[in-house]
Amino acid sequence: MQYFVVMIDYGRRGREAVVDPEITRREVISRLASGEYRNVSFIHEIVENSVEDVTEAILAEAALPQIEPEDVDLQAIRLDHARDLRKHERT
């Protein structure tokens, strides 16, 4: 059996361990990226009789990539501009 333990720290209100054998690694990453899991103290992966701290690896996977403004694909902007030009040609 494999499952993840996500420890969330609420400060003065205490901590909560989210333990659900149905949640996969991908789901944990998704919840971190969406902001559902915040203030995570640690993430442990339990496999059979072993425990591994996977906090750094999962947080790194969940982090949104930093995209420089000059690297942004401007295709959508060009298509919107072309659509606007066509719209004005009709009137």
pTM of the model: 0.67
Q: Which domain does 37 fall in, by range? A: 2-90
Each residue's pLDDT tens digit in the chain (91 positions)? 899 999 999 988 999 999 989 999 999 999 999 889 989 999 999 999 999 999 999 999 888 666 566 555 666 666 676 777 777 776 5
Q: φ and ψ at 51, to 5 degrees?
A: -125, 130
Asked whether the beta carbons of 42 and 57 are under 8 A apart, the reply is no
Tally of structural domains, the chain = 1
The predicted pLDDT at position 68 comes to 61
pLDDT of residue 29: 93
Using a 10 angstrom Cβ sphere, with 0-12 exposed, 13-18 middle and 19 or more buried, the burial of residue 30 is middle
pLDDT score, position 88: 76
Contact 37, 17 (CB under 8 A): no
